[in-house]
């Protein structure tokens, strides 16, 4: 390690004093963050809440200033910019499209760097290279920040302004900014950058591979944002046109209350827009003349919820007679009985096609272990059968197994009932009462 030369020592001193001062002043921002932020939002610093000494310090740190005697202290533009960028306040975020100045500085630094190298002053060369690196980053960052701001505005649909007219204005402003940024990029002459970096690995890496790659990426980003902004502007204009059209049409109609239009319907060419056919509601009923339809109907009936069936079946007098029992317990039993008969009917529907003969009521009772009295059971089936709506009743055939009460008595006693499901087409119900 070579001992520090005189100028180098000065530079080190300078750096360390800058470090102390910068840290102190940055801390100042943190210390008064709330007041500074209020000043950002309200335009002026609340002086009364600060001591004279504190204000003096803020002024010395170039954070605030007093534009003229009549006004209070306001934030320096650099600080306002910093805040706007930190809180992405698109109303005040500043876009810096100035490239020429930075390019000029880059040229200068490259010269200084090369001079230092030629003199063999590696420390100075190193320092210049560091500054140059910072500069290149700055240039890239400047575009990065601008592009970030543009995307943010685009993606938020210019939500920071309220009216459509303002959005159109903001969009226009953003497009102009892009124009300036693209102009700025055009200043960058890559052939010149290549020439600047020639013969030096560090410079080449910095100016050619890094800067060129970055700027290329920024260039395509900018074109993309531009495309999207133009698209969005089209939508805004369309929205605006629509709104204006409706407003004007409404006021026209208001002024011309007996406004008549042409007879479009009788033109030889009926306009597509008014050709709106009258609604047709396709009505359909289950038809049982096809085997497939019968199956569907069977399925539908089997799946029919019971309450719906109850609602539809208006009880006949007979069924009612059986049902008119005051006692609640009996009524509950009566409901259960009714439900069992309905289950039987559904069973009959399910059995259709599966067995030749009908379903015997008493056999069903045995199979299902129903402990209804045979007479009650049969009577209820008869009652329910009678109370079915005629169309449904005709779908069932009910055969009575009857016996004479006595050889000399013509009274017929019902021994059993046989039910089968028989769609109308397959023959008339056999034994309607």
Partner 1 sequence: MIEQYGPLVERLLSGAFICPFSDPDNYRRLQNDEVRQALDEYLRPLNRRLAQSQGSGVYFLGYLTFDEQARDVLKSQFSQTLQSLMPLLEWMLMVQEALGRDGALTAGDSIKLQEFVLKTEDNQSLRHRLQLLANDRFFNSQADSVDAQVKQIFKRLREHGYVRQPHAERQYFEVTGKVDYLVDLVRFIRDEENLPVSDEAEQEALL
Residue 258 and residue 173: Cα distance in Å, rounded? 45
Based on the number of CB atoms within 10 Å of its own CB, is 53 exposed (0-12), middle (13-18) or buried (19 or more)? exposed
286 binds partner 1 (CB under 8 A): no
Complex with partner 1: residue 2 or 280, whichever CB lies closer: 280
281 binds partner 1 (CB under 8 A): yes
Q: Which of 2, 20, 52, 254 binds partner 1 (CB under 8 A)?
A: 254
Residue 132 and residue 193: Cα distance in Å, rounded? 13
Tokens (6 digits) for 250: 């409404």
Give the number of residues written for the chain: 433
Q: Per CB under 8 A, which region of 33-41, 126-134, 278-286, 381-389 contacts partner 1?
A: 278-286
Tokens (6 digits) for 275: 């050709």
Residue 289 and residue 83: Cα distance in Å, rounded? 82
Decide if 91 contacts 56 (C-beta within 8 A): no
Complex with partner 1: residue 248 or 335, whichever CB lies closer: 248
Complex with partner 1: residue 216 or 247, whichever CB lies closer: 247
18 binds partner 1 (CB under 8 A): no
Residue 421 DSSP one-character state = E
369 binds partner 1 (CB under 8 A): no
Q: Per CB under 8 A, which region of 2-10, 185-193, 254-262, 303-311 contacts partner 1?
A: 254-262
Integer Rg of the chain from CA: 47
378 binds partner 1 (CB under 8 A): no
Taking the CB of residue 430, how many other CB atoms lie within 10 A of it? 12
Q: Which of 74, 168, 211, 388 binds partner 1 (CB under 8 A)?
A: 168
265 binds partner 1 (CB under 8 A): yes
Tokens (6 digits) for 67: 């534009």
Q: Which of 164, 208, 288, 296 binds partner 1 (CB under 8 A)?
A: 164
Residue 291, SS3?
helix
Shortest distance (Å) from residue 383 CB to partner 1: 40
Q: Which of 93, 109, 167, 393 binds partner 1 (CB under 8 A)?
A: 167
Q: Per CB under 8 A, which region of 46-54, 56-64, 113-121, 275-283 contacts partner 1?
A: 275-283
The closest of 171, 178, 183 to 223, measured between CA atoms, is 178
Q: Which of 96, 112, 210, 240 binds partner 1 (CB under 8 A)?
A: 240
Residues of the shown chain interacting with partner 1 in the complex, contacts defined by CB under 8 A: 162-165, 167-169, 172, 239-250, 252-254, 261-266, 270-282
């Amino acid at each position: 390690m070579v001992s520090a030369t005189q100028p180098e020592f000065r530079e080190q001193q300078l750096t360390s004093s800058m470090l102390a001062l910068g840290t102190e002043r940055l801390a100042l921002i943190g210390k008064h963050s709330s007041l500074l932020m209020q000043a950002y939002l309200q335009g002026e610093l609340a002086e009364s809440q600060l001591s004279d000494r504190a204000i003096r310090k803020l002024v010395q740190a170039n954070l605030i200033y007093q534009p003229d005697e009549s006004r209070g202290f306001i934030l320096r533009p650099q600080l306002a910019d910093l805040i706007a960028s930190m809180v992405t306040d698109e109303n005040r975020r500043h876009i810096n499209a100035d490239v020429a100045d930075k390019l000029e500085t880059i040229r200068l630094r490259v010269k200084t760097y090369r001079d230092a190298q030629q003199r063999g002053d590696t420390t100075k060369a190193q320092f210049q290279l560091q500054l140059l690196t910072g500069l290149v980053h700055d240039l890239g960052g400047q575009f990065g920040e601008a592009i970030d701001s543009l995307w943010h505005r685009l993606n938020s649909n210019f939500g920071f302004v309220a009216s459509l007219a303002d959005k159109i204005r903001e969009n226009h402003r953003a497009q102009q900014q892009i124009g300036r940024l693209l102009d700025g990029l055009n200043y960058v002459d890559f052939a010149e950058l290549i020439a600047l970096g020639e013969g030096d690995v560090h410079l080449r890496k910095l100016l050619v591979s890094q800067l060129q790659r970055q700027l290329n990426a920024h260039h395509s980003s900018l074109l993309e944002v531009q495309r999207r902004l133009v698209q969005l502007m089209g939508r805004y204009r369309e929205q605006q046109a629509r709104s204006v059209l409706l407003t004007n049409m409404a006021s026209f109609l208001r002024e011309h209350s007996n406004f008549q239009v042409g007879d479009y319907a009788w033109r030889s060419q009926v306009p597509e827009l008014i050709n709106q056919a009258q609604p047709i509601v396709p009505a359909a009923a289950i038809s049982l003349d096809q085997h497939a339809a019968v199956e569907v109907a069977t399925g539908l009936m089997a799946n029919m919820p019971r309450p719906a069936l109850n609602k539809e079946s208006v009880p006949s007098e007979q069924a009612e007679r059986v049902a008119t029992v005051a006692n609640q317990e009996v009524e509950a039993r009566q409901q259960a009985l009714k439900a069992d008969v309905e289950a039987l009917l559904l069973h009959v529907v399910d059995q259709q096609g599966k067995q030749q003969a009908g379903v015997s009521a008493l056999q069903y009772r045995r199979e299902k272990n129903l402990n209804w009295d045979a007479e009650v059971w049969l009577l209820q089936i008869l009652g329910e059968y009678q109370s079915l709506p005629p169309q449904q009743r005709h779908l069932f055939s009910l055969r009575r197994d009857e016996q004479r009460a006595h050889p000399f008595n013509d009274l017929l006693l019902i021994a059993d009932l046989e039910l089968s499901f028989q769609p109308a087409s397959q023959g008339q119900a056999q034994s309607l009462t």
